[in-house]
A and B are shown apart, each in its own frame.
Chain A
Amino acid sequence: MRWGGLLFAGLLAAAAGAGTVPDDVAAGKALYLNTCGGCHSVDTNRIGPRHRNVVGRAVASIPGYDYSSALKKLGGVWTPARLDQWLSGTQKMAPGSKMYLELDDPTKRRLIIAYLRSVSASAMPEHSRMASQPRH
């Protein structure tokens, strides 16, 4: 029983994407629909670019989406830590970007990023998450 339980817990964690808890993903999805759903969808570009596989994806790399030059200049890859920085202040990170929404609540950012990891095939491992990055 004991081993079975552990195995089951392990499977659940794996199913939700590395390092995220299923509850966080569900809460994050609800927040995502509410806070991001006006402009973004997971599978289609709308006012903003689609989010499937955003964790681990190069910044401003969706073909056919008309990115601002500010975001194109930013470079690099979206990690959970960089997403946290982005959602804390898009204009601080990429001044002149077309996204202005800010989320000052760290818990909401964490849950939404947990959801974004769950829709990303190559989600980053736990150690690269949040907090470790300095903020300005």
Chain B
Amino acid sequence: MNEPKGDRRKFLARAGIATLGVGTASLFAGTAMSATTVRPSDVGVIQTALALEHEGIAAYRIAGKSGLLSPGTLKLALVFMGHHQAHRDSLAKLVATAGGKPAEPKTDSQYIAELKLGSLKSEADVVALATMLERGAASAYFGQITALKDPGLAKLFASISADEAIHWTTLNNAAGTPIPTAAYVFG
């Protein structure tokens, strides 16, 4: 948080412009995944991942409506939310293909209480929370890969983990926090 606020805004606005194309690209993400067959033992892992995506989507959606975000940051938050929605759709489809019932999102009031969204007072607070969630998500995806039986699904988890890592990196830079010097940032 060393940078003056104006610079952070500019950074986020620039990052937003650079990633505008991604929304269109994510339209194709669903088709890339349709070939994956799900083994019954993998369905549980997908359901837990789906719960994580639901939470991420809610966090961006609710924070996006808070009025705390400047236009550039809001644009970026919506791009990230779009990625999480694409992840959710791929994961939910896989559960349904396997004959399961995809995990449902919780209510907004539950997410507000669980993530303490009511205590967010500034854009910096929102960025700090999103940074924490994205870091945890990047780490959670690859941390569960060894539990998967299907290599195609492992590839999907690695791909989602990389998306979350992009979100974390962007937010981390926006806050002016240096990148950790040691390798294996996510564990």
> Interface residues, chain A, CB within 8 Å of chain B?
31, 33-39, 41, 44-47, 91, 96, 98-104, 108
Chain B count of residues within 8 A CB distance of the other chain: 25
Indicate if B116 sits at the interface (CB-CB under 8 A). yes
In the complex with contacts A46-B115, A47-B51, A96-B44, A33-B144 CB distance below 8 A: no
- Cβ contacts under 8 Å, B146 to chain A: 102, 104
Q: Are A34 and B187 in contact (CB under 8 A)?
A: yes
In the complex with contacts A34-B135, A34-B186, A99-B48 CB distance below 8 A: yes
Q: Are B116 and A33 in contact (CB under 8 A)?
A: no
B178 to nearest A CB, angstroms?
A: 14
- Cβ contacts under 8 Å, A34 to chain B: 135-136, 139, 186-187
In the complex with contacts A46-B55, A46-B115, A37-B133 CB distance below 8 A: yes
Complexed CA–CA distance, A56 and B25 (Å): 49
Q: Are B48 and A47 in contact (CB under 8 A)?
A: yes
Q: Are A33 and B55 in contact (CB under 8 A)?
A: no
> Interface residues, chain B, CB within 8 Å of chain A?
44-45, 47-48, 51-52, 55, 113-116, 132-133, 135-140, 143-144, 146-147, 186-187
- Cβ contacts under 8 Å, A98 to chain B: 44, 47-48
Q: Are B147 and A100 in contact (CB under 8 A)?
A: yes
In the complex with contacts A44-B114, A91-B147, A101-B140, A38-B52 CB distance below 8 A: yes
Closest 5 CB pairs of A and B: A38-B136, A38-B140, A37-B136, A100-B147, A101-B143
